Homo-oligomer: A and B are copies of this chain.
Amino acid sequence: MAAPCARRGAGAPWALLVLALLASPLAAALKLDIDGQAIVDQLLHLATYSDDPNPAVTRILFTENDMKARGYIKQLMAEAGLTIREDTMGDIYGVLPGANPGAASVSTGSHCDAIPLAGAYDGTLGVVGGIAALRALKEAGFVPAKPLEVVMFTSEEPTRFALSCSGSRAMAGVLDAGYLDSRRDENGTSYLAAATAAGYGAATYGEMLQGARRTPADLAAFVELHIEQGPLLEKEGTQIGIVTAIAAPAALRVSFSGDGGHAGAQLMPWRNDASLAAAELALFVEHAALSAGSWDTVATAGYWDIKPNAVNSVPREAVLEIDVRDIDRERRDGGVGSIREEAAKIAQRRKVRHSVDIINQDPPATSAPAVVAAAAAAVSELGYSSKRMVSRAYHDSLFMAQIAPTAMIFIPCRNGWSHRPDEYASPADIARGVQVLAHTMARLAGDAADAKQEL
């Protein structure tokens, strides 16, 4: 996971392109026919491919319902007149060719897999809505200079293999073959075996990953449409959120281990109670986040495992799993470092052994100013209210940002609820989101008719 987020906003050619796009009279004339209710109908049809009864949606990578969903997505792509291709990891693309076939693509997409008992809008909006956006552009007669594409990432949720964003990680080249090979589902099935059984895969993990790889040369921009999964837009009555940064989690596992003992017999001065080391560290985690200087810094000791965990037994082992998130990588990693240091100090003070493992440490992403500007111009042109905001949950965009100028578009969702069956976004909000997506992509790709204005 080495490649930093590409920061493209500083380059002169990009700034000029942005000005050109903003000034383009043709962009202002683009009128798209987008039916929010029709998109909702498609989302609810997609939701029927579920292991649990609707309104709950459970759809796990490469299972039967996931395969049915893939069939439906390809059907929608075909009906939209897009060229369909699938890669070795199972990512599904629908492409609207541009006037310059060799040019880098302007891409949109999200995921259709769903954690157990989820809702019908998380991820799916970005795929079904992306197809609707491209369809509307095509039907309006818009011919992009660069190709437009919508991708359904093969999986974003970690349910089956304890690995999130498998498709976008592979595209960004940050998924290690050995690591992917170490993953097994609850039945011991490997990712490669499951992909192969689903009609994807390759001879080796290396080949399977390579077959999904994209590079900055392939991608002019990536824009993901998603429900906010938070309550701010709805509370404020703002119609569109333009995401300027995506927080990313780092997770650590800290283990403390002492001698334990009988709760009655072991006198206090001679104890090295592992749970008290964990207690001190959990309180430090809170302190570290609160004193980081930004509300965007959050840290949580969410998982506790105490052994032997009997009322009459001094705790002998304590494991904490800690989640640290921020939109600023340096600040986030500084927090991780201070937690590691404090764990060592606590261990020494309390005379326990300890170990720290980094479970993951994904880089946060800053949206590309050019893509943010294109979205802002689209919103302005469409006359919607909007605000800049941060995404506190992470998405495939987090990894796409490592290989393409990226931003996200949020629409409100009821009460901010997500990952639950009563997740909901209105047809009107969905229509607005898809309009913004389409207009933004059109600006980024350029109108073939305006090709002579490109520099």
- Show the binding face of A for B, using Cβ within 8 Å: 229-230, 247, 249, 251, 262-269, 273, 275-276, 278-280, 282-283, 286, 289-290, 295, 297-304, 306, 309-315, 321-323, 325, 359, 392-394
The minimal Cβ–Cβ distance linking A358 to chain B, given in whole angstroms, is 13
On whether A304 and B303 interact (CB within 8 A), knowing A264-B323, A311-B321, the answer reads no
Given contacts A268-B295, A276-B283, 8 further A-B contacts (CB under 8 A): A251-B311, A263-B298, A268-B289, A278-B279, A279-B280, A280-B283, A303-B311, A311-B322
Q: A302: which B residues are within 8 A, CB to CB?
A: 263, 309-315
Asked if B265 contacts A286 (CB within 8 A), the reply is no
Q: Which residues of the partner chain B approach A273 to less than 8 Å between Cβ atoms?
A: 286, 300
CB-based closest 6 A-B pairs? A279-B279, A311-B321, A263-B300, A265-B392, A304-B306, A263-B323
CB of B304 within 8 A of CB of A263, answer no
- Closest chain B CB from A82 CB (angstroms): 33
Q: When chains A and B are docked, how far (Å) is the Cα of A269 from the Cα of B278?
A: 22
CB pair B268 A247 closer than 8 Å: no
Give the nearest-CB partner of A304 in chain B. Answer: B306
CB distance from A115 to the nearest CB of B (A): 11
A256 CB to closest chain B CB (Å) equals: 13
Query: Bound state CA distance, A411 and B297, in angstroms?
Result: 59
| Secondary structure type dominating chain A contacts | mixed
A249 in contact with B275 given A302-B310, A312-B302 (CB within 8 Å): no
Please list 8 pairs of residues, one from A and one from B, whose beta carbons are closer than 8 Å in the complex, sorted by A's number. A263-B302, A264-B298, A266-B298, A268-B289, A276-B286, A302-B310, A311-B321, A311-B359
Bound Cα distance A312, B263 (Å): 32
Give Cα A250–Cα B230 distance, bound, in whole angstroms. Answer: 45
Q: By the criterion CB–CB under 8 Å, are B300 and A309 in contact? A: no
The residue on B at minimum CB distance from A313 is: B302
Contacts of A266 on B, CB cut-off 8 Å? 298
Chain B CB within 10 Å — which of A265, A301, A313 has the most? Answer: A265
Q: Which residue of B lies closest to A292 (CB)?
A: B268
B265 with A230: CB separation less than 8 A: yes
Do A303 and B310 have beta carbons less than 8 Å apart? yes
A295 to chain B, nearest CB (A): 5
Task: Determine the chain B residues whose CB is within 8 A of the CB of A297 once the complex forms.
Answer: 268
Instruction: Let me know if A325 and B263 touch, CB within 8 A.
Output: yes
| Inter-subunit contact B280/A312 (CB<8 Å) | no
Q: Which of A300, A321, A359 has the most chain B CB atoms closer than 10 A to its own CB?
A: A300
A283 and B278 CA atoms in complex are apart in Å by: 10
Contacts of A283 in B (CB 8 A): 276, 279-280, 283
Closest partner residue, chain B, to A280 (CB atom): B283
Asked if residues B394 and A264 are in contact (CB atoms below 8 Å), the reply is: yes
- Report A326 CB to chain B, min CB distance, Å: 10
Q: Which residues of B contact A286 (CB under 8 A)?
A: 268, 273, 276
Instruction: Please give me the residue from chain B that is nearest to A285 by CB atom.
Output: B276
Residues of B within 8 A of A312 (CB): 249, 300, 302, 323
Residues of B close to A311: CB separation below 8 A = 251, 300, 302-303, 321-323, 359
Residues of chain B within 8 A of A230, CB atoms compared = 265
Q: CB distance B393 to A265 under 8 Å?
A: yes
List B contacts of A279 (CB < 8 A).
278-280, 282-283
User: Which residues in B have their C-beta under 8 angstroms from that of A314?
Assistant: 300, 302
| A280 to B279 Cα, complex, angstroms | 7
